[in-house]
Structure 1
Amino acid sequence: MLGRGMRSLAGVVIVACMVLLGSSAPNGTPFTRSLPVDAVRDVVPNRVMTWNICNPCDKSDVDRAAEIATYAPQVIGLQEACVRNVERIRDHLERVHGLVYHVEYGTVLRNWGRCGGAPWSPGAYGQAVLSAAPMTDRVNVEYPDGGSEDRGYMAVTTMVGGRPVRVFNTHLAERRQEAVRAEQTGVLAAAIARHDRAIVIGDFNAVPDALELTRIWAVAEDTDPRCRPSPAGACAPTTDWHSKFDYIFLRGLTPLKHSVEPTAYSDHHLVHTDLDAT
């Protein structure tokens, strides 16, 4: 039999392994961070969210899923998303929180450094859309010039508030690449303009009055009615460095309320809005 000292050491090793590997209960359900007492308990059918989940970042998909479950949007657009991470997030949302989502991907590159996998078969990286309703007519467009890294947009049609709407999700070129972003927004704005009802979400890497966003403002409005493309606009920051880079643009839709939620699990805040579907 093991002595008391050996049993104590074995217990410490077991606990350490559970922390490192992502422990599970005997029935296979992962241990998770508990949700706030005021967390939403079911999908909100007219709520849309955008979130750059930060990659590469050493963050738990269990915690990311819990953040999403707190607000339970009908549609979530993720940026800097690896397919494996999204699969785990969706699994946790269903198994732990009872929230069932469909998923579509807008991957633009395969990157071992960001997404892991075998060096000869790296994980896919880009955008993803999760929707409680089925999605149709997915398109995935890579911008002609991504800047320092391939970038693009994806679009799907799904139900928001009981009505069909076209949802775009994008991640524009990195900061200090204004000319590249200007070309990208030209491509995106032309696609948005073809739809009477559209939701455009993503990380635009530009503040509201940046010249490269002019074409987006011409075809849609920010969900925050106080946020406009001028220095006087009262736009809430969406990043840890106190800039607004993350947007939910609306075309042919009316916002009811919106919120920006700081999170410990990304350098970008969660942004969500409730829409008047009528």
Structure 2
Amino acid sequence: METSGATWAREGEAMVLGRGTRLLAGAMAVVCMVLVGPSAPAGSLFAGSPPLRAARDVVPNRVMTWNLCNPCAVSDVDRAAEIATYAPQVIGFQEACVRDVERIRDYLRNLHGLVYHVEYGTVLRNWGRCGGLPWNPGGFGQAVLSAAPMTEPVNVEYPDGGSEDRGYMAVTTTVGGRPVRVFNTHLAQRRQEAVRADQAGVLAGEVARHDRAIVLGDFNAVPDAPELRPIWALATDTDPQCHPSPTGTCQPTTDWQSKFDYVFLRGIVPLRHRVHPSPYSDHHLLHTDVDAT
């Protein structure tokens, strides 16, 4: 026959085990939520939930261009993490699907505390590029994310896109505390020099209307390519050593060691720039800090 002391001991042990089990279950639930990550389609973690990491400020005079690579089996969580590392004020995407951009923007806000506005410059609706239902393919083209609001958005498809529809977009936003016209483009694919020359002429005609402009994009041409002459006549590359001549020392921006990606500046002074190879695209991230005053 058990003594009353032994009974109390076993009851106490059961209470401790029960409470420990509940604590362990609660901890495991939290771990599962963190590991599983966003469950909503738009990428929001939970309604009204704070960022997983403390919010940080963007660099107000930093702009970035990045060809996202499409189609590529890449996580938008990883793309957002790459962008958050450098926290630019303005980002220009090429080969961008609307759904990917939406997720990247949500991950930047929910996981990194970086809040961006977005404008799209999509010129193609393609199920193979961007998925979606066959009768509702995703939009494909360019996009601009800006920490400041954007006004006067323009989306133009080039008269001749070459082997695939191409175009440029433009917005007015704030860089370094000053209003700036920002262009973002993707010229025709390689081995289509004549098409790119016509596209560059169209783009240059619009850039020339602004005393202060930033032109981002994948131009699919090396600096001394003849088709880029209209742009070089209006603006300079963010790299002071990069010129439209074979003697320029231009840092490559692609995995095949060519410079195809540019931040052209008109009426704006470059301060410093960086090129960052990324495992998430065949194009490197290119960002530059500028003096817009």
Q: Scaled by the length of structure 1, what TM-score is found?
A: 0.87
Give 1:4's aligned residue. none
DSSP-derived class of the 2:242 partner: coil
Q: Counterparts of 2:38 and 2:192 in 1: how far apart (Å)?
A: 47
2:178 to 163, 182, 196: 163
Q: Counterparts of 2:140 and 2:221 in 1: how far apart (Å)?
A: 21
TM superposition outliers: structure 1 runs of 4+ over 6 Å: 25-28
Q: Counterparts of 2:178 and 2:62 in 1: how far apart (Å)?
A: 12
Q: Report the alpha carbon displacement of residue 276 of structure 1 after superposing the two structures with TM.
A: 1.0
Q: Report the alpha carbon displacement of residue 25 of structure 1 after superposing the two structures with TM.
A: 6.9
Larger Rg: 2
Give 1:182's aligned residue. 197
Size of the alignment, in residue pairs?
Answer: 251
Give 1:132's aligned residue. 147
Give 1:14's aligned residue. none
| Structure 1 residue 219 corresponds to structure 2 residue 234 | yes
Percentage of identical aligned residues: 77
Q: Counterparts of 1:251 and 1:24 in 2: how far apart (Å)?
A: 42
Q: Report the alpha carbon displacement of residue 277 of structure 1 after superposing the two structures with TM.
A: 2.2
| Structure 1 residue 116 corresponds to structure 2 residue 146 | no
Given residue 238 of structure 2, which amino acid in structure 1 is its aligned partner?
Answer: T
Instruction: Map residues 79-118 of structure 1 onto 2, 5 A cutoff.
Output: 79-118=94-133
Q: Report the alpha carbon displacement of residue 24 of structure 1 after superposing the two structures with TM.
A: 1.5
Cα deviations by residue, 1:3-25 (Å, 9 ceiling, x for unpaired): xxxxxxxxxxxxxxx9xxx9227
Q: 1:135 and 1:24, CA in 2 relative to 1: closer, same or farther beyond 3 A?
A: same
Q: Counterparts of 2:56 and 2:71 in 1: how far apart (Å)?
A: 30
| Structure 1 residue 172 corresponds to structure 2 residue 187 | yes
| Structure 1 residue 24 corresponds to structure 2 residue 37 | yes
2:211 to 196, 218, 243: 196
1:56 to 71, 96, 101: 71
Q: Report the alpha carbon displacement of residue 26 of structure 1 after superposing the two structures with TM.
A: 9.2
Q: Counterparts of 1:116 and 1:207 in 2: how far apart (Å)?
A: 31
| Structure 1 residue 266 corresponds to structure 2 residue 291 | no
Q: Counterparts of 1:24 and 1:224 in 2: how far apart (Å)?
A: 39
Q: Counterparts of 2:292 and 2:169 in 1: how far apart (Å)?
A: 22
Q: Report the alpha carbon displacement of residue 42 of structure 1 after superposing the two structures with TM.
A: 2.0
Q: Counterparts of 1:235 and 1:55 in 2: how far apart (Å)?
A: 25
Q: Scaled by the length of structure 2, what TM-score is found?
A: 0.83
Given residue 37 of structure 2, which amino acid in structure 1 is its aligned partner?
Answer: S
Q: 1:148 and 1:276, CA in 2 relative to 1: closer, same or farther beyond 3 A?
A: same
Given residue 63 of structure 1, which amino acid in structure 2 is its aligned partner?
Answer: D
Q: Counterparts of 1:152 and 1:257 in 2: how far apart (Å)?
A: 28
> Which ranges in structure 1 are unaligned for 5 or more consecutive residues?
1-17
